[in-house]
């Protein structure tokens, strides 16, 4: 698996494909209400379904990100997501 879990941290490595969606969703549901840390330092790319789960969690709870030195497209998307402009409650 390209996502590993340690307490409230999800560590993303390589490319995250859609086959990680269910396990990542379960992790977020288990942590609902708690701050979650996403370590994306070694991540090369993320499937859109995973990004949607991250944004949905961030709409209601706290998420911190740790990115690598090279700015990737998914980083721009996640950092640019403004929960005040999302009306999908």
Tens-digit pLDDT profile for residues 28-82: 999 999 999 999 999 999 999 999 999 999 999 999 999 999 999 999 999 988 7
Query: What global pTM score does this model have?
Result: 0.88
φ and ψ of 27, to 5 deg: -60, -45
Q: Kindly give the pairing relationship between strand 9-16 and strand 63-67.
A: unpaired
Q: pLDDT tier at 86 (50, 70, 90 boundaries)? A: low
Taking residue 21's Cβ as centre, other Cβ atoms within 10 Å add up to 15
Which structural domains are found in the chain, ordered by start? 3-83 (3.30.750.24)
């Amino acid at each position: 698996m390209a996502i590993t879990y340690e307490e409230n941290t999800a560590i993303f490595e390589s490319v995250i494909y859609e086959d990680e969606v269910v396990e990542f969703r379960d992790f977020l549901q288990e942590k609902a209400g708690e701050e979650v840390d996403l370590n994306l330092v070694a991540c090369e790319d993320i499937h859109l379904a995973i990004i949607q789960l991250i944004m949905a969690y961030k709409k209601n709870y706290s998420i911190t990100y740790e990115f690598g030195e090279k700015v990737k497209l998914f980083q721009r998307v996640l950092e640019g997501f403004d929960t005040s402009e999302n009306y999908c409650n």
